[in-house]
């Protein structure tokens, strides 16, 4: 199962079905109907029913639809979420066992899977998480993960948090997964900070990010859309390399170009052609 991930994922609480249609017609590449933290226990059954009924309705285009489920209620959540109109599920607080169970319950359905790394065990067991061919990549639930690691977020621990993020980027690449999904920010009114952190995540190797507010989505899409100048340069590098029959060459500025350089150029072009 080969899939390219969207740039932007917008969380939509499953307890607010009136927002579903608006969300999928908005600028987000994908929406996540959230059956986990956004739904109080007493409203779980109603939320599942609303999600299932909405998913069963025909839709004409729009954003991809994903559903976030929780291991504690995996059977019930998947019964509502595993519908033909769903692109994938996101397993919160994932572990190898919950991903394996979700994979088995989904059977032959053409539904992708993303796991959220929110525990120390998941962080250290990324190779085990990647054993399912249905798993596309992982995301980071940083609030839960830092709590599990007993790390307090502060200016003097930001380098530690970045090291954890880098570990996940490396783990995904080593496991042959797509680049991981960057965590969102609940400070949705501070878009300047969101611009800065999103650019930082892109530089670190993330190629998607989640949003909790529609206002964050254009920031993500802009940051994860290669600039026109970068695209033109990438096209030129690939052309020069191909003309050299795959051997080393130099670009228009006299800089050395080999397979490693062209690999980065091809990645830029692949992101444009999604």
pLDDT at 234: 85
* 14-23, 49-58, 160-169, 184-193: least confident range: 184-193
Domains of the chain as residue ranges with CATH? 8-223 (3.20.20.60), 228-272 (no CATH)
pLDDT at 61: 82
**59 phi, psi to nearest 5 deg:** -125, 145
Percent of the chain with pLDDT over 70: 98
Q: Averaged over 211-218, what is the pLDDT?
A: 97
* 29-38, 167-176, 185-194: least confident range: 185-194
Asked if pLDDT for residue 227 goes beyond 50, the answer is yes
Q: Averaged over 99-121, what is the pLDDT?
A: 96
Distance (Å, rounded) from C-alpha 215 to C-alpha 217?
6
What band does 2 get if pLDDT is binned at 50, 70 and 90? very low
pLDDT at 28: 97
Higher-pLDDT residue of 168, 4: 168
In this prediction the pTM is: 0.90
* 46-50, 146-150, 152-156, 236-240: least confident range: 236-240
Residue 85: which of 107, 61, 104 has the closest Cα? 61
What band does 42 get if pLDDT is binned at 50, 70 and 90? very high
Neighbours of 137 (CB within 10 A): 22
Distance (Å, rounded) from C-alpha 158 to C-alpha 164?
10
Percent of the chain with pLDDT over 90: 73
Helical ranges in the chain per DSSP H: 20-24, 44-56, 74-81, 96-106, 120-124, 126-129, 142-149, 158-175, 191-204, 217-223, 228-243, 259-272
pLDDT at 3: 55
Average pLDDT, the chain: 93
What band does 107 get if pLDDT is binned at 50, 70 and 90? very high
Structure tokens at 110: 């053409």
Structure tokens at 132: 């399912």
pLDDT at 274: 55
The predicted-structure confidence for 128-140, as pLDDT tens digits, reads as follows 998 888 999 999 9
Asked if pLDDT for residue 166 goes beyond 70, the answer is yes
What band does 80 get if pLDDT is binned at 50, 70 and 90? very high
Asked if pLDDT for residue 94 goes beyond 90, the answer is yes
Q: Averaged over 241-245, what is the pLDDT?
A: 82
- DSSP reduced 3-state for 6: coil
Q: Which residue has 């796991």 as its token pair?
A: 115
DSSP designation for 173: H
All residues at 6 or more sequence positions from 235 whose CB lies less than 8 Å from its CB, including other chains: 265, 269
The CA distances from residue 234 to 230, 239, 266, in Å, are 6, 9, 7
Distance (Å, rounded) from C-alpha 11 to C-alpha 38?
9
In what helix (H) or strand (E) does residue 89 lie, and over which residues does it extend?
strand 88-91
Asked if pLDDT for residue 249 goes beyond 90, the answer is no
Rg (CA), the chain: 20
pLDDT at 262: 85
Asked if pLDDT for residue 1 goes beyond 70, the answer is no
Q: Averaged over 247-268, what is the pLDDT?
A: 83
Structure tokens at 268: 């830029």
């Amino acid at each position: 199962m080969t899939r390219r991930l969207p740039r932007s994922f917008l969380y939509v609480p499953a307890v607010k079905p009136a927002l579903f249609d608006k969300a999928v017609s908005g600028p987000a590449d994908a929406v996540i109907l959230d059956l986990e933290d956004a739904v109080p226990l007493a409203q779980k059954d109603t939320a599942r029913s609303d999600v299932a009924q909405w998913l069963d309705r025909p839709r004409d285009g729009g954003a991809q639809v994903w559903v976030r489920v929780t291991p504690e209620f995996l059977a019930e959540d998947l019964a509502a979420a595993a519908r033909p109109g769903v692109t994938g599920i996101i397993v919160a607080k994932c572990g190898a066992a919950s991903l394996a169970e979700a994979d088995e319950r989904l059977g032959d359905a053409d539904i992708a899977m993303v796991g959220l790394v929110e525990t120390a065990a998941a962080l250290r067991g990324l190779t085990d998480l990647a054993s399912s061919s249905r798993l596309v990549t992982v995301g980071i639930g940083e609030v839960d993960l830092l709590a599990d690691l007993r790390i307090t977020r502060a200016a003097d621990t930001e380098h530690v948090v970045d090291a954890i993020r880098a570990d996940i980027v490396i783990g995904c690449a080593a496991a042959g997964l797509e680049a991981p999904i960057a965590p969102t920010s609940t400070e949705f009114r501070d878009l300047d900070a969101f611009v800065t952190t999103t650019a930082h995540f892109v530089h670190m190797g993330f190629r998607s990010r989640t949003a909790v507010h529609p206002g964050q989505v254009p920031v993500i899409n802009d940051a994860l859309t290669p600039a026109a100048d970068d695209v033109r340069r990438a096209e030129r590098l690939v052309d020069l390399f191909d003309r050299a029959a795959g051997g080393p060459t130099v670009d228009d500025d006299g800089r050395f170009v080999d397979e490693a350089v062209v690999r980065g150029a091809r990645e830029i072009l692949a992101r444009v052609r999604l």
